[in-house]
Structure 1
Amino acid sequence: MTRLVLGIDVGGSGIKGAPVDLDRGAFAAERLRLPTPEGARPAEVADVIGRICAHFADVLDGDDVPVGVTVPGVVTHGVVRSAANIHPSWVGTDADRLFSGRLGRRVVVVNDADAAGLAELRHGAAKGHDGLVIVTTLGTGIGSALLHRGALVPNSELGHLEIDGHDAESRAADSAREREDLSWQEWAQRLQRYYSVVEDLFWPDLLVVGGGVSKKADKFLPHLHLRAPIVPATLRNAAGIIGAAQLAAES
């Protein structure tokens, strides 16, 4: 029997959701995207999530079907501890309880990079890898997911390593490339420094690069020289939704 779980990805501009076929690691229906409410306060986001769940009500056949939700912040035991591109009032919010109460079913809330990382491990570029895998998402900042022997070590926040006196993502995120109009090779030099530090700290067996810029991996990955293989993510924009659903099913 096909296992369908709803995954929802909360972003700064849009909230996206889709039922996920966990056997295939793919959407079981067309994704629905609704605008993120201005200010993105918890209760307002909960209302949008409720609308997405209502849209896929035929998939959620029974109250025992969980929902996975990503947020751009650190999440420990369902409580949001930081807020990136969402309202500061998220900090300290028990999002598991808030969303579960709004939807009347179990909801599992996770960090967005953690969700993307688990999706790549279960269904994407790191599928079947049983060593230490580090997935990084290069975008406005640098998100990270640390995965060891198939298990997620949550909230690694490796984009905030201090390297050469700077917060790493302030110099190596894709936004820095665009802001400073760096060539691909110039940006790759910064990525080389960043990933070299990550390698020296963790000695990963595999590095996976996600985020929208991973579509252009051929322009910068060949310039990197690391001990571990470094490959582009394969699930791209679907990773957050798929990973949220996977984590909800496994929790």
Structure 2
Amino acid sequence: MRMTNAPARAIGIDIGGTGMKAGVVDLAEGALVGDRVRIPTPEGALPRDVLETARQLVELLGDDARDLPIGVCFPAIVKDGITLSAANVSVEWIGLDADDLFGKALGRDIHFVNDADAAGLAEAKFGAARDQAGLTIMTTLGTGIGSAFLYNGVLVPNTELGHLQWDGESIERYASASARERGDIPWDEWSARLQKFFAHVEFLFSPDLIVVGGGVSKNPEKFLPGIETRAPIVTAVHRNNSGIIGAASLVLT
């Protein structure tokens, strides 16, 4: 469903492997209006349970969220509102018309997008990649590794750099933030792992700018100095709120 008149505000919901976050976004400024709310992602991340949690998040936003359209970012390949993969969530999402399901249940205009793509859109419109020429690669380091490609500010959707192969597994199993936490890996050792990831990405795609988002982007001093790239590498301006802001901004398209 698409809006004929662009709204001034929208809700962004970020569905992650461990937590679901939401906020009201000023679409002119690209900034949260008030505080964001968070609820742990339900175990197994079944569609019906995620939908109920999304409903609770909207209720927690209160009167500021009344009747606003909703953008949802999700850790999967998303085409035309249909989720086509299931990384760190239930396989029931594969082939699901998420736009339709959420739209009918919440009674709102709904716009689903890949979570890293949403973060990339936020940084292209309102953050570190604004007015950036050439290829920007946004990476989100969290439960997995998400990626967004932006060429002259235009999104090339559904890239999956976290699933590049490394020792027979997706590289996110080796270099994501959750891999560091799972193995209690020191920050300098994790930086060395990220160095291998970013060096390989640069070899393949020669980006002009690399933007790092996800929860760890609030602590760049702990890992970023240990990474050397040809392209400038910076943290996302909106840190871990990029997904919320980018998802909400979809209602403008």
TM-score w.r.t. length of structure 2:
0.87
- Would the aligned equivalents of 2:131 and 2:152 in 1 still touch at CA under 8 Å? no
Tell whether 2:153 aligns with 1:150.
yes
Per the alignment, residue 214 of structure 2 pairs with 211
Amino acid at match of 1:194: F
Give the residue type in structure 2 aligned to 1:241: I
Deviations 1:70-102 (A, max 9, x none): 112111111111223322211111001101111
**Alpha carbons of structure 1 residues 93 and 5: separation in structure 2 relative to 1, 3 Å:** same
Take 1:16 and 1:35, find their aligned partners in 2: how far apart are those partners? 9
Q: Which moved more, 1:49-58 or 1:71-80?
A: 49-58
Q: Shift of the alpha carbon at 1:55?
A: 5.0
2:69 paired residue number: 66
User: Following superposition of structure 1 onto structure 2, how do residues 113-132 of structure 1 map, counting pairs within 5 Å?
Assistant: 113-132=116-135
Give the % identical residues.
Answer: 53
Task: Measure, in 1, the Cα distance between the counterparts of 2:204 and 2:56.
Answer: 43
- Is residue 129–residue 149 contact of structure 1 (8 Å, CA) maintained in 2? yes
- Unaligned ranges ≥5, structure 1: none
Change (3 A) 1:163 1:26: same
1:5: which partner in 2? Answer: 10
Assess if the C-alpha contact under 8 Å between 2:217 and 2:240 holds in 1: no
Which residue pairs with 2:86 in the alignment? 83
Match of 1:43 in 2: 48
Cα pair 1:2 1:21 within 8 Å, conserved: no
Out of 16, 29, 32, the position equivalent to 1:27 is: 32
Counterparts in 2 of 1:215 and 1:104: CA distance versus 1, 3 Å: closer
Assess if the C-alpha contact under 8 Å between 1:68 and 1:248 holds in 2: yes
The C-alpha deviation readout for 1:126-155, integer Å capped at 9, x for no partner, is 222132110111122211111111111111
Worse-matched range after superposition: 188-197 or 204-213:
188-197
**What is the distance in 1 between the residues matched to 2:65 and 2:180?**
42
Distance (Å, rounded) in 2 between the aligned partners of 1:168 and 1:242: 27
| Cα separation, partners in 2 of 1:195 and 1:2, compared to 1, 3 Å | same
Q: 1:197 aligns with which of 196, 200, 215?
A: 200
Pair 1:109 & 2:109 matched: no
Q: Which residue of 1 aligns with 2:164?
A: 161
> Which range is displaced more, 53-62 or 174-183?
53-62
Q: Could you say which residue in structure 2 is the equivalent of 1:242?
A: 245
Decide whether the 8 Å contact of 2:74 with 2:112 is kept in 1. yes
Distance 1:21 1:200, change over 3 A: same
Q: In the alignment, residue 124 of structure 2 is paired with which amino acid?
A: L
CA RMSD of aligned residues (A): 2.3
Match of 1:17 in 2: 22
Quote the residue 2:3 is aligned against: none
TM-score, with length taken from structure 1: 0.88
Asked if 2 retains the 8 angstrom alpha-carbon contact of 1:19 and 1:29, the reply is yes
Q: Which residue of 1 aligns with 2:143?
A: 140
Task: Give the superposition deviation at 1:187.
Answer: 2.3
> Of 169, 176, 179, which aligns to 2:179?
176
Distance change >3 Å, CA 144–CA 57, structure 1 → 2: same
How has the CA–CA distance of structure 1 residues 107 and 199 changed in structure 2, closer, same or farther, with 3 Å as cutoff? same
Equivalent-residue separation in structure 1 for 2:108 and 2:242 (angstroms): 23
